[in-house]
């Protein structure tokens, strides 16, 4: 578990979009999936939990003119600063679990991309309960996570550490069912990426994925050398960015 999630994302805030905005097509892929998968209606009240800089909320709002603002929730004030004055958004500086537990309004659709692993294991059942209570009747909640098997071309210690720590999607499903969701299903999506090797190495140096925050500067340097050696004959690194999506209905 990352000991200081807020510090990690505050540090990334100025370069976060550069690290994760692989291309317009990638953002369109994620946002189009969410729009279809969650069957967004213009009257829906929507929450983006752990929104970061709001990359996906912004993408959705380019295609959907909701009657209500998207509630963009994040622990990092510096991440949220990138969303300042963005039309049809409501910025809420809060942890996802705290927001779901204490915010009085209910919502039709809630999505959380790569956020759940930041909630401590012993608190996850409380989060699922709060998530359920945050939904209106027939509301939908989707949790998007990287699967336990990592496809990113990281150094081996990072891959091993990630795979030991990452929550399994079956456990997410069990937790949501225990919280009262009437139906929970699992979906997998993937997007083929081709990233210039030097750019990817800079992403690793900047700890673009949160598991890298567990490694020291020297360990990151050694890891980058390992990646360079393994892919010395490649100018681009190609891999599928895979996500598992666990969706529950109230």
Classify residue 128 by burial, with Cβ atoms within 10 Å: 0-12, 13-18, 19+.
buried
Handedness of CA 232, 234, 237, 239 (dihedral sign): negative
Residue ranges in the chain modelled with pLDDT below 70: 1-23
Beta bridge partners of 141: 110, 248
The per-residue pLDDT for 25 is: 86
The per-residue pLDDT for 3 is: 44
The per-residue pLDDT for 10 is: 54
The per-residue pLDDT for 34 is: 98
The per-residue pLDDT for 26 is: 87
Here the tokens at position 41 are 């209606």
Q: Give the number of other CB atoms < 10 A from CB of residue 141.
A: 27
User: 3-state DSSP call for residue 76?
Assistant: coil
The per-residue pLDDT for 97 is: 87
Residues contacting residue 185 through CB under 8 Å, at least 6 positions apart: 246, 247
Q: What phi, psi does 7 have (nearest 5°)? A: -60, -40
Among the listed residues 7, 153, 12, the one whose alpha carbon sits nearest the alpha carbon of residue 82: 12
Q: Where are the alpha helices (DSSP H) in the chain?
A: 5-12, 16-20, 24-37, 55-61, 77-80, 96-102, 124-134, 156-165, 169-179, 197-205, 217-230
Q: What phi, psi does 241 have (nearest 5°)? A: -85, 110
How many residues appear in the chain?
Answer: 250
The per-residue pLDDT for 24 is: 72
Contact 40, 142 (CB under 8 A): no
Just give the CATH number of 5-194+239-249. Answer: 3.40.50.150
Full-model pTM: 0.89
d(CA 84, CA 237): 34
What count of Cα atoms within 13 Å lies in the side-chain half-sphere of residue 189?
16
Given strand 70-74, what is the order of strands in its sheet? 89-93, 70-74, 46-49, 107-113, 135-145, 236-249, 183-196
Per domain, the residue ranges of the chain are: 5-194+239-249
């Amino acid at each position: 578990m990352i000991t200081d999630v807020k510090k990690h994302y505050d540090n990334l805030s100025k370069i976060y979009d550069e690290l994760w905005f692989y291309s317009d097509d990638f953002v369109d892929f994620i946002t189009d999936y969410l729009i279809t998968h969650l069957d967004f209606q213009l009257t829906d009240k929507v929450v983006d939990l752990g929104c970061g800089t709001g990359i996906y909320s912004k993408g959705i709002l380019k295609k959907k003119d909701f009657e209500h603002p998207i509630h963009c929730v994040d622990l990092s004030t510096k991440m949220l600063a990138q969303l300042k004055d963005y039309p049809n958004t409501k910025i809420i500086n809060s942890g996802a679990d705290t927001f779901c537990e204490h915010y009085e309004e209910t919502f039709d659709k809630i999505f959380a991309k790569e956020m759940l692993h930041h909630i401590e294991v012993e608190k996850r059942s409380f989060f699922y309960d709060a998530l359920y209570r945050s939904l209106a009747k027939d509301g939908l909640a989707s949790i998007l996570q990287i699967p336990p098997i990592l496809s990113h071309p990281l150094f081996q210690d990072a891959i091993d550490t990630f795979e030991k720590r990452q929550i399994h999607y079956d456990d997410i499903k069990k937790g949501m069912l225990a919280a009262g969701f009437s139906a929970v299903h699992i979906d997998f999506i993937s997007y083929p990426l081709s990233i210039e090797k030097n750019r990817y190495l800079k992403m690793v140096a900047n700890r673009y994925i949160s598991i890298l925050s567990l490694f020291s500067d020297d360990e990151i340097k050694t890891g980058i050398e390992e990646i360079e050696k393994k892919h010395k004959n490649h100018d681009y690194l190609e891999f599928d960015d895979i996500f598992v999506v666990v969706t529950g209905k109230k």
